[in-house]
């Protein structure tokens, strides 16, 4: 949360992390969690109230994998963290539960896709 506060960032969290969301509500940090990305809904026209948490369904994971592949294709030469490169090289859909950094990267890419159309504005005090 310190990094989120410092960078004024938003968190895209997996829907099953209920205890983290409960903690955030109690501590007043719930507003830092982004609404469920529209790309994760089966029907974009039926997006309801603000739901927090991205489901880890097969369709969502496939979409994340595509986003990661696009990122690696475009910016892979900028990834210097060896553990990340190792996970990306060994990742398979059949064995996806053992790749935490790839899963986190997928959530970040979903969040980036959702927030990518927002235009930064200058904050006036």
Query: Per residue in 17-31, pLDDT tens?
Result: 999 999 999 999 999
Q: What is the mean pLDDT of the chain?
A: 89
Decide if pLDDT at 83 tops 80: yes
Domain locations in the chain as residue ranges: 2-115
pLDDT of residue 86: 94
Burial of residue 12 (number of CB atoms within 10 Å: 0-12, 13-18, 19+): buried
What mean pLDDT do residues 11-16 have?
91
Residue (of 49, 23, 18, 19) closest to 36 by Cα position: 49
Place 124 in a pLDDT band, splitting at 50, 70 and 90: confident
Lookup result for tokens 């979903």: 110
């Amino acid at each position: 949360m310190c990094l989120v506060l410092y960078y004024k960032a938003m968190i895209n969290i997996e829907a099953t992390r209920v205890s983290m969301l409960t903690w955030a509500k109690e501590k007043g940090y719930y507003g830092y969690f982004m609404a469920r990305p529209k790309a994760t809904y089966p029907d974009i026209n039926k997006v309801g109230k603000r739901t927090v948490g991205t489901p880890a369904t097969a369709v969502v994971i496939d979409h994340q994998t595509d986003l990661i592949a696009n990122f690696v294709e475009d910016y892979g030469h900028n990834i210097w963290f060896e553990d990340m490169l190792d996970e990306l090289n060994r990742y398979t859909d059949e064995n996806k539960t053992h790749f935490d950094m790839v899963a986190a990267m997928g959530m970040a890419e979903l969040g980036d896709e959702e927030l990518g159309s927002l235009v930064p504005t200058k904050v006036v005090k």
